[in-house]
Chain A
Amino acid sequence: MAGAASGGSASLTPLLIAQIVLTLFVFVMLLNSAAVMVYFERKVAAVLQQRIGPYLVGPKGLLQPIADVIKLMFKEELRPRAADPLLFALAPIISATAAFAAFAVVPFGASTTFFGLLKEPLKLQVADVNVAVLVIFAIASMGVYGIVLAGWSSNSKYSLLGGLRSSAQMISYELSYGMALASVLLIGNSLSLTDLVNGQAGVWLGFIPRWFVFLQPLGFLIFMTAGIAETNRAPFDFPEAEQELVAGYHTEYSSMSFAMFFLAEYINMVTVSAVATDLYLGGWHGPWLPLSLGWIWFLIKVGAILFFYVWMRWTLPRYRYDQLMAFGWKVLLPVSVVNLLVTAAGVLYFGL
């Protein structure tokens, strides 16, 4: 489902070339975003804990991610003897692929001609699918397999427990995630992310932006909670709970296969933040900037949510596993169902 779509005719028109360049650009930027996020997370964590954080490599430690990547690449690739060789190699690839593929349908800016460079406007999005929201959901559910298979194929107790926990956790929280999404779809009256974002243009009463977060405050909270659980971040990082499971599903991994899981985790965070921005925070709409520069607003909003992610991780202690399940099924799911019902009633009777 990924890949460049809507390129027009088969010949190499400027639009098609621009589309291909855009796809590569998104790919590279996602790789970069993971590196930047690692640095950002360590710095923010350091500030929160009154430390300095990385400072030796480059000015202010800015080259730390590059050093990390080089270190990871030169490590030895280990495989336990009892591991299932095929699945052990396949699992990180599934994880990373799913993470990249999910971003393909996320729009991150209004259509632009790049200051008149192109004849027709180009959508700032790798693939415009009219069921984009569902596609993201589907690819996210594929990401579970990477983790589960990693856990099983390593043939280690810690890994297996991590894999089982993650599959149970992701299935449980996917429901609330879907319910929160459904309420937004009801208000936005579309399944296409571009349409949903465009539905949030303009302001109420002259100063409140028409973002869905003001119509769906509860939905936004549910979405973020479920999103954190889906990406296995603290305080829901059970699949890799260090104190309980060594490193969970990637205990037995080393070198680049470990790096792939790491990459997948950070890219998933970026994707969830980008989707949350598109769905609730008005995407690229914001004051002062023209629509063609809307991607700046988009980046600012995504950055804010990512900061929130890191903040959560270093502030909240981890839940207990049974508490997580009880919270997901007995609190989050009922609340999201009620939220959906109220939203549906509101749309039906008041035409929100």
Chain B
Amino acid sequence: MFYLFAAVAIGASLLVIAQRNPIYSVLLLIGSFGALSGLYVMLDAPFVAVIQIIVYAGAIMVLFLFVVMLLNAPHEDTEYDERVHPLLRPGPMRLGALLALLLGIELLWALGRGGESGVFPGGAVTSVAVIGRSLFTDYAFPFEVTSILILVAMVGAVVLARRDTARDRRDRGGV
């Protein structure tokens, strides 16, 4: 099961960055999140798994999809040939891919040096009540801070995305 979910997650993520059309990228990313959610279930964290689906796949990705559909700009405009696949373009792109590959190898190397790896112990915290209690006692301050962060982000998003009506009117020639 682990290998199935892992393969889906890696495959979908690879395809996310290899798609030309952002709509497909968003959908593949949802698939990847689904696989990760399955992994969370295997890690005895069903609550996180469900939250992953609700928040990530259900809310954040709908937002992405919404914007992609709204902009409706499937083509990636670069100085490079449009027909070349995005991952195979020359120049600085190659360097970027190389750097990412280097990072991956480095991480794997570091993990390989870690030596003995623990088999998971028996007792796992699966109860929602325990998580909630911990969230509202030990982590009460970070919790409040994130709520303020969300509020600020909400206001910021509204301000940024709002059309500046007064200036628009002037641009159109004082209609």
Contacts and interface: CB of A to CB of B under 8 A. Distances in A.
Interface of A: 84, 87, 129-131, 134-135, 137-138, 141-142, 144-145, 148-149, 151-152, 160, 163-164, 167-168, 170-171, 174, 191
A171 B59 contact: yes
A84 B72 CA distance: 13
A144 B69 contact: no
Nearest to A153: B23
B62 A134 contact: no
Interface of B, helix, strand, loop or mixed by DSSP = helix
B46 A164 contact: no
B70 interface: yes
Contacts of B51: 134
A142 B57 contact: yes
Interface of B: 23, 27, 30, 46-47, 50-51, 53-54, 57-59, 62-63, 65-66, 69-70, 128
B128 A148 contact: no
A156 B175 CA distance: 31
Nearest to B126: A130
B66 to A, nearest CB: 6
A114 to B, nearest CB: 30
A141 B69 contact: no
Contacts of A149: 27
B50 A131 contact: yes
B50 A141 contact: no
A167 B66 contact: yes
A184 to B, nearest CB: 15
Contacts of B63: 171
A138 B53 contact: yes
Contacts of B70: 164
Contacts of A87: 23, 27
A138 B50 contact: yes
B59 A141 contact: yes
